[in-house]
Amino acid sequence: MRLAEQLDGKRFLLTGVTGFIGEALLQRLLVDLPGTTVVALVRPKPGQSGEDRLRSLLRKPIFRAAGDADDLLKTRVEALEGDLSNVPELPADIDVVVHCAGDVSFDPLIQDAFTTNVVGTRALVERTLEANERGHGAVHYVHVSTAYVGGRRRGAVPERAVEHSVDWRSETESGLRLAARIEEDSRLEERLKGFLRAAERDHGRAGPLSVAAGAEERRVKWVVAQQKAAGLERARTLGWTDCYTFTKAMGERLVEEVAAPVIPTTILRPSIVESAVKHPSPGWIEGFKMAEPIILAYGRGELTEFPAAPDSVMDVVPIDHVVNAILKASATPPPLSRPAYYHVSSGARNPLTFREIYEYIREYFTAHPFDSSPAVMPTWDFPGGRAVERKIRAGELLTGAGDRLLAFAPRSRKVREASRKLDGARRQIDFARRYMDLYKAYTEAELRFVDDNTLALHRALDPADVELFGFDTSTVDWRHYWLESHCPSVTTQMRKYEEIRRRRTATENNGPRALRPAGEGGAPVLAVFDLAGTLLPGTVVDTYLTLRLSSLDAPARIAEFGRVMRHLPGWIAAERRDRGSFLRSLFRGYAGVDLDALEQYVDDVFAPDFLASISSDALRRIQAHRDAGHRTVLMTGDVRQVTRPLAGLFDEVVCTELDEQVVDGTRRASGFLTSPPLVGEARAAWVRRYAEVEGADLSASYAYADSHVDLPLLKAVGNPTAVSPDVPLFRVARGSRWPVADWAASSPTRRLRVPQQVLAGTD
């Protein structure tokens, strides 16, 4: 019989229809098997029902030949809301259940792997058995697993149950308990102290909320890493490559014990599933699978070697072969208690080695390079896993040393470019490390998946069906597949990304984005500017020395300058912990200063040089905001006297106020402040409160700052710009795609200038 006749009138229940295999299977059922109907188990999302998700799926181009999405939902497809954690009652009239869903990550959290691949499978099987009891006949259960379920073995892998004595029930229970224990351990006092200390080093200057967020981020990362590691190590101690294959094996054993004695059961094991040969179109693929990150990294010149044995087989199977095998297997139910096993693979009869894949990929990129491809594509010598491990380890040590050096480097374009290159090198190394750790067992595997059952199933097709539904992988022309279909398909999206990246880089190089005028009668738009390091080079120490020394005679100037230099290392260390404390210590030096005389000095002497040191680009940007009708705000930790020359440029000046007292009729600084300096998170809080009171639109507002300590301020607005940023802020800006401007970095190596008063005092 033709396959369409065998499946005519059959009602399928599918899981995982939003995944790669499930989507392709649904498409073939609706397009090429018009006599079938489908119930799709679909998880609803916030604001989107399961049916709406299914409707969106049916509107994809590959379903166009099946008809209108709304018509399909009325006649052939039904959404059953739920997921594997909450499987609802199944319809009694289903004929075939195809379980495509599962956690396919190679390094899942141990609890996620067990919950999806074992607990979820059990729930589905139990619901299937219930439907079988209520229905009109035996439901055929088709379980999609993986060819690598056999674990770390060599040689021929037969199409039958995996030989092991591991109890899936106890392993599931212990795995879930272990994940919970790791979560509890992350909250132990000593561990929490460690997270907090690390967060204080990185975020202490920004404020306690930033520190708390950083500590919690570290705790969560630690939990994730430990839960992944726990699954991996348990799998390896029992003979599996990773937690993915281990839990898939436990799921298979569950199916063999619970489903197979009651209903016809088929276990279908694809190898590495990649893009289509023919259906729904040559090269069709959804998302990145195992090979795609390797292909793209090689094409960009970022993968100079790979830890694979050149003669090892990478067992690849096109998605349409997998779907065709599922369809034919669905039409061929086995007897009770005798589950059918099928390896949908290529290595036994059409092997493809890693060296061949490398040669195809290299040939493709030599002819069709990315914009970012090197002039000559990398040559892989396949030196072996140990040699690649040594190279990766050396790279990790070098990038770590580079990071430590950058922490002490002065701000400049060259330093930021060095950090960009260092980050690029680290990404390459991290990528190589990830693939080394995750895929080494696969890349060096010496397996041959026997596919005699699958070949017999293929040969059972009616000859008229072979063209449309065949799945004999020996017919695949691998050179044509990689050069003419797979590589062009998977690189299309990357070429689009390259164009986006070019535009983004141009934006970064050109500085801030164009301004949008404030709408008449609309909410005010703010433009908040930091001062030191943003509008002008130098630091608050520079301006302090310039103003403080103005009131001293020559010997006193030299003495005060020496005092500042002696305390400067301690102040810098204090600033890394708490910028507010540093400013308090520095400004204590104003004690006794005649404030009237100081302000007169600022107006008559200090202002001209001060204004001349401000970047012309910065002045133009401030004026552009004023012309656009935006409300300009100067926000600085420096004292009010320093900001006097700029008062006319800003609608609001937020700064540090010196406490004053009248001594013998003269206003003098007491050495204290009237309120805590506005730094770090306090700046973001001020902006939010100001916006609330004034009705300003923060999502349309702007902020400009140079330091990682101002990250809370920059995140508070919709249009942040990093100006001559330090390396930590530069990395955040790049990752967040914020504009980067250079205004105050005309003298990047002189972060502290010797005031002219000191030089004059030595004459």
Give, in order, the Cα–Cα distances in Å from 209 to each of 198, 199, 203, 636.
Answer: 14, 11, 9, 20
Minimal CA–CA distance to 111: which of 183, 165, 44, 43? Answer: 183
pLDDT, position 720: 95
Q: How far apart are CA 49 and CA 42, in angstroms?
A: 9
What pLDDT shows up at residue 748?
A: 36
Q: pTM for the whole thing? A: 0.81
User: Across all residues in the chain, what is the average pLDDT?
Assistant: 87
pLDDT value at residue 202: 81
Question: How far, CA to CA in Å, does 361 sit from each of 109, 318, 358, 429?
Answer: 32, 17, 5, 21
- Could you report the per-residue pLDDT of 295-342, keeping only the tens digit for each? 888 898 888 888 888 888 889 999 999 999 999 999 999 999 999 999
670 neighbors 591 (Cβ within 8 angstroms): yes
Q: Residue ranges of the alpha helices (H) in 579-674?
A: 579-587, 595-601, 607-613, 616-627, 640-643
The helix/strand/coil state of 35 is coil
Highest average pLDDT, of 374-383, 439-448, 472-481, comes from: 472-481
Q: How confident is the model at residue 409 (pLDDT cuts 50, 70, 90)?
A: confident
Mind listing the pLDDT tens digit for each residue in 416-437? Answer: 788 888 887 888 788 777 777 7
Q: What confidence tens digit (pLDDT) does each residue in 106-150 have? A: 789 999 999 999 999 999 999 999 999 998 778 999 999 999 998
Query: Is the pLDDT assigned to residue 247 strictly greater than 70?
Result: yes
340-344 and 447-449 strand pairing: unpaired
Which candidate, 511, 487, 491, places its Cα nearest to that of 372?
A: 491
Residue 535's Cβ-count burial label (10 Å; 0-12, 13-18, 19+) is buried
Average pLDDT estimate for 430-455: 80
Q: Report angle CA 641, 644, 650 to the nearest 5 degrees.
A: 130
Residues making up the chain, counted from first to last = 763
pLDDT in tens, 266-301: 999 999 999 999 999 999 998 777 788 888 888 988
d(CA 407, CA 485): 46
The dihedral region occupied by 113, where left means phi > 0, alpha psi between -120 and 50, and beta the remainder, is: alpha
pLDDT surpasses 90 at 482: yes
Beta strand spans in 294-395 (E): 316-318, 340-344
Per residue in 662-687, pLDDT tens? 888 899 999 899 988 888 889 999 99
User: Helix (H, G, I), strand (E, B), or coil: what is residue 356?
Assistant: helix
pLDDT at 689: 94
In order of 288, 392, 474, the CA distances from 428 in angstroms are 18, 9, 35
In this predicted structure, the answer to whether residue 472 has a pLDDT above a threshold of 60 is yes
Bridge partner residues of 703 (DSSP) = 528, 720
Check: CB of residue 31 under 8 Å from CB of residue 63: yes
Please report, as a single letter, which amino acid is at residue 129: L
How open is the CA angle 544-549-551, to the nearest 5 degrees?
A: 120
Question: Which domains, from first to last, does the chain contain?
Answer: 3-166+238-502 (3.40.50.720), 172-237 (no CATH), 526-761 (3.40.50.1000)
Instruction: Say whether pLDDT at 570 is over 80.
Output: no
| Residue linked to tokens 């055929």 | 140
705 near 674, Cβ under 8 Å? Answer: no
The enclosing H or E element of 79 equals strand 77-81
Helical H runs in 204-353?
208-237, 243-258, 292-299, 319-330
761 neighbors 557 (Cβ within 8 angstroms) = yes
- pLDDT for res 712: 92
Structure tokens that stand for 147 in this block: 């060819």
Instruction: Identify which of 431, 421, 432, 444 has the alpha carbon closest to the alpha carbon of residue 390.
Output: 432
Give yes or no for residue 763 having a pLDDT over 80.
Answer: no
Peptide bond connecting 280 to the previous residue in cis, omega within 30 degrees of 0: yes
C-alpha distance across the termini of the chain, in Å: 107
Q: 406 with 422: CB under 8 angstroms?
A: yes
Report CA-CA distances (Å) from 284 to 33, 103, 181, 373. Answer: 20, 22, 43, 24
Strands (DSSP E) along 137-264, which ranges?
Answer: 140-144, 155-157
Do residues 111 and 179 lie in contact, with contact meaning Cβ atoms separated by under 8 Å? yes
Share of the chain above pLDDT 70, in %: 92
User: Residue 620 pLDDT more than 60?
Assistant: yes
Q: Are 549 and 557 in contact (CB under 8 A)?
A: yes
pLDDT surpassing 50 at residue 753? no
List Cα–Cα distances, 125 to 111, 142, 164, 264, 587, in angstroms. Answer: 20, 10, 22, 12, 72
At 200 the three-state DSSP class reads helix
Considering only CA atoms, which of 749, 753, 751, 752 is closest in space to residue 415?
749
Residue 636: pLDDT band with limits 50, 70, 90: very high
* Amino acid, res. 579: R
Q: Read off the tokens for 334.
A: 């086995």
E strand segments, 557-707: 631-639, 652-656, 658-663, 666-673, 702-705
Measured CA to CA in angstroms, residue 527 lies from 184, 628, 686, 729 at distances of: 45, 10, 13, 19
Residue pair 459/324 in contact (Cβ under 8 Å)? The answer is no
CA 30/CA 33 separation, integer angstroms? 6
In whole angstroms, what is the distance from residue 192 CA to residue 216 CA?
Answer: 9
Strands (E), 380-501: 447-449
Distance CA 172, CA 245 (A): 14
pLDDT above 60 for 586: yes
Q: Among 713, 751, 720, which residue's Cα sits nearest to residue 508?
A: 720
- The amino acid occupying position 707 is S
Give mean pLDDT, residues 439-445.
Answer: 72
DSSP string, 451-482: -HHHHHHHHTS-GGGHHHH---GGG--HHHII
Q: Is 204 helix (H, G, I), strand (E, B) or coil?
A: coil
On the 0-12 / 13-18 / 19+ scale of CB atoms within 10 A, 170 is: exposed
Of 311, 303, 435, the residue nearest 365 (C-alpha)? 303
Q: 353: which strand partners?
A: 313
- pLDDT tens digits, 157-194: 999 999 999 999 999 999 999 999 999 999 999 999 99
Q: How far, rounded to the nearest angstrom, does the alpha carbon of residue 702 sit from its chain's CA centroid?
A: 26
Q: What 3-state DSSP class applies to 526?
A: strand
Q: What does the pLDDT average to over 638-659?
A: 91
Question: DSSP for 494-510?
Answer: HHHHHHHHHHHHHHHHT
**118 touches 172 (CB < 8 A):** yes
Assess whether pLDDT exceeds 80 at residue 629.
yes
Among candidate residues 534, 526, 519, 530, the one with its CA nearest the CA of residue 651: 526
